[in-house]
Amino acid sequence: MRIVLAEDSTLMREGLTRLLIEDGHQVVAAVGDGEALVAACDDHRPDVVIADVRMPPTFTSEGLRAVLAVRRRHPGTGVLVLSQYIDKRYATRLIEGDVRGVGYLLKDRVVEVGDFLEALRRVAGGGTALDPEVVRRLLNRARDTESLTRLSVREHEVLALIAQGHTNESIAGRLHVSRSAVEKHANAIFDKLGLTHVDGYNRRALAIVRFLDQ
């Protein structure tokens, strides 16, 4: 796949570039700030973007704001945020609307290179890849909402795993329940969030978006 990489740390940027090339991907641009990221995406139209959150000049949320701009200008481009930080405001905006092709991983929690590369492939293919800690922080934003109180503890667990990009079969394995039980929980979530008439993957995607957007 064709990738644009945005990371202000030279060592991290070069290390990721080598890793991606060794895995058979083409890094069409490797940049160090948000403006350069948007420009590179305009020039190269990559399959997926990998971006840090905090980049020059203020080292606050330039990376995430640039990623949001990329999503607006090039909706078909997958975006994988790879950072040490969770920016709850912009992370929530990132998954509003169409959550397909979106990932948010924490650098310190990526312990296996294979897991990172698998998440990248999932995002590039239109799936989601959200670190469980990112999901937990975002869910806490809605801790007192009506939608949250309507979901059971098990439904919370299922919804969090849906947000991380797991299939029903994968969720069943992680929760040690049957696939049919997961399907029942998922359907209950869709019903409580008013998504019973939305079809297919969009229903799963909108479930987490609707929940976090309360």
Same domain, 126 and 162: no
Same domain, 64 and 110: yes
Q: Does residue 137 lie in a domain region?
A: no
Q: What is the CATH number of the domain that holds 100?
A: 3.40.50.2300
Residues 47 and 2: beta-carbon distance below 8 Å: yes
pTM above 0.85, yes or no: no
Same domain, 96 and 158: no
- Of the candidates 131, 150, 166, which is a domain's last residue? 131
Same domain, 15 and 62: yes
User: Given the structure tokens 């800690």, which residue do they identify?
Assistant: 133
Same domain, 91 and 10: yes
The predicted-structure confidence for 74-126, as pLDDT tens digits, reads as follows: 988 999 999 988 887 777 778 765 678 999 999 988 888 998 999 999 999 99
Could you give the number of structural domains in the chain?
2
**Residues 6 or more apart whose Cβ sits within 8 Å of residue 115:** none
Same domain, 63 and 162: no
Rounded to 5 degrees, what are φ and ψ at 138? Answer: -70, -35
Mean pLDDT across the chain = 84
- DSSP readout, 72-118? HH-TT-EEEEEES---HHHHHHHTSS--TTEEEEEGGG---HHHHHH
The predicted-structure confidence for 129-140, as pLDDT tens digits, reads as follows: 888 787 777 666
